[in-house]
A and B are shown apart, each in its own frame.
Chain A
Amino acid sequence: MNKYNMAITSKQLIFIIIGTQIATGILSLSRVATENAWQDGWITILLGAMVPLLSLIIIERLGRMFPDKNIGDIMRSLFGRIAGPLILFPFIVYIVYFQSIVTRLFAEVTKLYLLPFTPIPAILLVIVLSVIYIVSRGIKTVARINEFLFYLSLLAFTLVLTTILGGIDFTNILPLFETDIKDIARGALTTSYSFAGIEILLVLYFMVTRKDEVLKAGLTAIGITTSIYLIIVVVCILVFGVDALQKILFPLIVLLKSVQVPVIERLEFFFLVIWLTLGPRPVINMTFAASYALGSMLNIDLRRYFTLIVIVIAIAIFVLALVPRDIFVVFTWSDYAGSLSIIFAIIYPLILLAAALLRGKQVKHQE
């Protein structure tokens, strides 16, 4: 078994990026999108997609300069043996922080709808243990499971949409283009948080077998994510209306629960199972990225100690996820994480790219 062969195809990259982007945020997305922009919330999704797009272009440009170096080596060659790892470290901390929020939200949703009497730490623990198992099997497993779950989610998604079509009301989305451009921009900033996850490409670029297809794969992934978000927001607006949306914590779950099919009384159960299978996906992907980044930062032999690093990262996520007192603290945290995500998706790679370009000039000069 080739557990340590860290190579993925560009097709698998698409699914990993989608899987990382579509996190717990999707549950509350339609509320967030309509908060500022009202019925034009769907425009904010399109605008928000600009952030990962920009990030993709920067990271791809950076990766192209170091096609055969992993993230740790890139850092070392850009900033030296000591400063390089030090600059990489915040990125790992950011992933751990971000994923601890995702994990906590996932656990909170689970507790809210499925396990009202189970303590949060227990739910967190079982999630983290599963993540440890899956991630320690290597990138190929992570990639394959992303692929499988993507098709599964697509299936469930289509089913939900077809059952929901009866309950929509087109007047809910009208009038179009009424909202002030400022509000839409403000909305776009918050919806762009939902696209966080493209940063994973910083770590994964090195593993893709065909580098020339990375840009295309990234664009496809962002395109698919955007369309899924768009459809969900539009459907939520059509079904609930903007005013009602503001009062619902997780509109998507309410939407699932409202699905009614004759004969089969409780279809939502089916979707809950699928949602629960999908939920840990970003945590899996990002834990892998963080573990790999940590390993390459410390120059550890990944063949031997990868599982150990995964356990370290997973424990960090677990502990950090325990910190917030309740779900409202988690939401505040998640706002911070959103801002951080823009920093790490755009500004951080931009700094690296600038350094790389400068370094490249220096090297040329010396020659």
Chain B
Amino acid sequence: MRKIPKKPLKSNPIKESDPSKIPAAKLPMDIEDKQELLKPYLENSDDIINRTFYINGSELEVQAIFINGVIDDNTFHLHILKPLMLHCETEPLKNRNNELIDIVSHSLITVGRIRKADSLDALIHDIYDGMLVLIFDSSGEYLAIDIHGGPLRSLEEPPVEKAQRGSRDGFIEILDINLALLRRRIRDHRLVVNKTLVGKRTRTPLAIIYIEDIADPGVIEEVNARINQIDIDGPLAAGYIEQFIEDNHYSFFPQIWATERPDKMIAELLEGRVAIMIDGTPQVLFAPSLFVEFLQAPEDYYERPWIGSYVRALRFLAFFIAITFPALYISLMSYQIELIPIDLLVPLAKARKLVPFPVLVEIILMEIIIQVVIETGVRLPGTVGQTIGMVAGIILGQAAISANLATPGVIIVIAITTISTFSLPSSSLALATRILRLPMIMMASIFGLFGFSLGMLIIIAHLASLESFGVPYFAPFAPTRFADLKDSVFRTFLWKMNQRPVSIPGQDKKRQGNNGQGR
């Protein structure tokens, strides 16, 4: 495990270092005093609604405080206001001030998630966390009712992680709904969900999820420790968390795998990983992650192993092409011409003669243009993006060739490279290949095939040096774990994967029994 503190961090920054901390004082009994106490915290928020009412037929004043639009109005009206204001028996309430809260919550309000508390800081946080808060005259306690509502995105299939087979739902931005999706699929009491808050200002809910008797205690502890050290204003997306807890900040390679697919998440949990789910982003993070995972897709397991293995091997090839193809082309064209078969060399050289730039300039030029086109396509709405891609790809390419600004060879090389980049299932890894290509091009253009080989050596060494939460990132290749190689570039039959991967530390190593096949 990494010795964590790189920068000095306080032990629990969210609670201690905040100067504008709300005092944890007990609430006074009288409702006017309470309002006075609350005033400085609420007066600047015009979207906070204060609804004062009397419980049916009595003098008992109740104030409902909530943020407009965050709670579900229907529930509020039907299950809270209506019973309290209209259909309530007042007899039991009289002269029983001590038990007032309990009577209200136990026999009047017909909502599931309700709890009581009595301190000022909890009250303020509850209001701003989006709860409906009821404060009562002549009681030191208050009720916090969780009736979150408002518009939601539907659980559609994640657009960046499509699968031909498998489930069609995806995570959304609401943590609780994502957790529900998960619980519906793993009905095991040993599935642990620990919720914490991250971000001094945003107070974003974050859940650390693992299966108690599969995940490695060391990894769980490490994940908790790293999450607790995060001291930021607010994590805007899961990528923030990822960048704060990853092992090597200077690497191009993504070291924490993220997915929007519940089925993929379950697979990861069952292999002994720890998942980190954050409110506001549909992506779930996993620790530890391995390099091979970024080249694997859920479909590899849903289809028969032959096609799964074939497609996966293709993806490894595509990864290799995405990093090296332009570099290879340069080193062959500028240094090792003798390695190109003569029949191929002649047309390439003929086209080369017409172009005024060296191969390096030509490749870099085309590479930058195509990168800009990709970036444009991502930003523009669907059909326009496609059109731009067509225009840039076909017309520009064709025009560049006829204007002798680029050889057809270079266009082909760049096109194949770009297509290969997008065949990778992980967009983070695709981004890494887009950057890694450039140093490879430089190495190849200075030292030819030799520079190319050294570049590959350095990339392999770099991959081998990476660790994710104390787990070698490049396993099962280096260090070589033979038991895991059957599910790396190729994958074997499902009924042969009787053990959980050894690359991921964990407790219960046996995944399944021998299913009686393959004898």
Contact = CB atoms under 8 A, between A and B. Distances in A.
Are A and B genuine complex partners?
Answer: yes
Interface of A: 1-3, 12, 110, 114-115, 118, 122-123, 126-127, 130, 133-134, 137-138, 140-141, 143-145, 147-149, 151, 265-266, 269, 272-273, 276-277, 280
6 contacts: A1-B2, A2-B470, A118-B447, A122-B447, A123-B450, A148-B477
B447 A126 contact: yes
A45 to B, nearest CB: 27
B411 interface: no
Interface string B439-474: 000010011111111101110111011110010101
B465 A114 contact: no
A147 B336 contact: no
Contacts of B478: 144-145, 147-148
Interface string B461-502: 110111100101010011110000000000000000000000
Contacts of A138: 465
Contacts of B467: 1-2
Interface of B: 1-2, 247-248, 335-336, 339-341, 443, 446-454, 456-458, 460-462, 464-467, 470, 472, 474, 477-480
Contacts of B462: 137
Given A148-B477, A269-B339, A276 B450 contact: yes
A114 B452 CA distance: 12
Contacts of B453: 272-273, 276-277
Given A1-B465, A134-B457, A144-B479, 18 more contacts: A1-B467, A2-B470, A123-B447, A126-B454, A133-B461, A140-B472, A144-B465, A145-B460, A147-B478, A148-B464, A148-B478, A149-B460, A151-B480, A265-B341, A269-B449, A272-B449, A273-B456, A276-B449
B445 to A, nearest CB: 12
B128 to A, nearest CB: 38
B447 A115 contact: yes
B467 to A, nearest CB: 5
Given A130-B454, A265-B341, A277-B456, A147 B466 contact: no
B448 A115 contact: yes
Contact of A133 (B247, B451, B458): B458
Contact of B479 (A12, A130, A137, A273): A12
Contacts of A133: 458, 461
Interface SS, A side: helix
B464 A145 contact: yes
B474 A144 contact: yes
A250 to B, nearest CB: 16
B472 A130 contact: no
A269 B464 CA distance: 25
Contacts of A126: 443, 446-447, 451, 454
A269 B340 CA distance: 10
B466 A1 contact: yes
A269 B337 CA distance: 11
Contacts of A143: 479
A141 B464 contact: yes
Contact of B461 (A110, A123, A145, A269): A145
B1 A2 contact: yes
Contact of A2 (B2, B456, B461, B480): B2
A221 to B, nearest CB: 16
Contacts of B480: 147-148, 151
A210 to B, nearest CB: 15
The CB with the most chain B CB atoms within 10 A, among A1, A123, A134, is that of: A1
Nearest to A141: B465
A122 B448 CA distance: 13
Q: Which 10 A-B pairs have the closest CB atoms?
A: A276-B453, A148-B478, A141-B465, A144-B464, A137-B465, A144-B478, A134-B461, A269-B339, A1-B247, A1-B467
A272 B470 CA distance: 35
A110 to B, nearest CB: 5
Looking at B247, B340, B457, B466, the one whose CB has the most chain A CB atoms below 10 A away is B457
A127 B454 contact: yes
A115 B335 contact: yes
A1 B339 CA distance: 41
B462 to A, nearest CB: 8
A301 B1 CA distance: 20
B335 A280 contact: no
Contacts of A145: 457, 460-461, 464, 478
Contacts of B339: 266, 269
A141 B461 contact: yes
A137 B340 CA distance: 37
A4 to B, nearest CB: 9
Contacts of B461: 133-134, 137, 141, 145
A153 B515 CA distance: 37
Contacts of A144: 464-465, 472, 474, 478-479
